[in-house]
Amino acid sequence: MDLIIARDRRELAEARTKLGLTGGPGAPTLALVPTMGALHEGHLSLVRLAKKHADLVAVSIFVNPLQFGPGEDFDRYPRTFEADVAACRAEGVDLIFAPSADVMYPPDRQVGVSSGRMGTIVEGHFRPGHFDGVLTVVLKLFNLIRPDVAVFGQKDAQQLAMIRRMVADLDVPVRIVGAPIVREPDGLAMSSRNRYLSPEEREIALALSRALREGAARRTPSEIVAATRAVLDAAPLQVDYVVLADPATFEEVGEDHAGEAVLAVAARVGTTRLIDNVTVTLPPPGE
């Protein structure tokens, strides 16, 4: 069956029927890859992973206004729908859901999802309300598309942690799968925002992945953070944060932390804000 494109609730319901997504015995399983479009190899790697976890794959394409704050790049966020459709078709995607803002949000909308404390720290500190918008749209997509599985990239590590928390706290019947970060050959994490960078800015942006490699080579939390920040401070960019965080809560870990932690950074290169992270494993103190 050819790729189906649905733009509203009626078309989505018709698509689910065509795909046999009845929910009954023997019905196919569905994996969802939520995106804001401008698809690149990182997104397509999520699609390939999704195909391993379900019979059918849906991709949502929606630039969500709720997760952009004042002065952010909502208006200039890249929109490349025709190219996105071609990429999805080439990857064997079964369904694209591409609603408008009017379809997703009624004009009298009042209720949304609160991201709690985790939504106010690290990335949430610099983007107030961002995670409320993310969780609200993700929950709506889950309710509309009704996937069995949803795949999210590790590049947005705090977002992934918060979606796992929402699913657990609200008893949402969707299994969350995290996917590894996909990088360019030179180490830059793939992002739709990379296209904003000039050649000179792109070279500067490599400091993020270089800083993470330097930090990950250290052994204690303070050494990891100091080494990471030293690389970023030496580059002509504006650092928002360097944090070593618990992967489940995104609270900053202490010197006695052992096991996995997420080393996360955010910085502005020119007018473009980039994030990146790496997972590190800390030995018990004294080892």
**Do the annotations mark residue 159 as ligand-binding?**
yes
- Domains of the chain and CATH, by start: 4-179 (3.40.50.620), 194-277 (3.30.1300.10)
| Both structure tokens of 194 | 């990379």
155 is in an annotated binding site: yes
- Note the pTM of the prediction, 2 decimals: 0.95
Reported as a single tens digit per residue, the pLDDT across 48-90 is 999 999 999 999 999 999 999 998 999 999 999 999 999 999 9
Tell me whether residue 257 is one of the annotated catalytic residues.
Answer: no
Residue 36 annotated as part of some ligand binding site: yes
Q: What is the pLDDT of residue 287?
A: 67
Is 153 annotated in a binding site? The answer is yes
- Residue 100 clears pLDDT 90, i.e. is over it: yes
Neighbours of 195 (CB within 10 A): 12
Cα distances (angstroms) measured from residue 88 to each of 57, 83, 166, 172:
10, 9, 28, 26
DSSP labels for 21-45?
Answer: ---STTPPPEEEEEE-S---HHHHH
Q: Given this model, what pLDDT does residue 208 score?
A: 98
DSSP of 83-102, one letter per residue?
Answer: HHHHHHHHTT--EEE---HH
Q: Which of 43, 53, 130, 257 is catalytic?
A: 43
Strand partners, 157: none
Q: How confident is the model at residue 260 (pLDDT cuts 50, 70, 90)?
A: very high
State the pLDDT at residue 23: 78
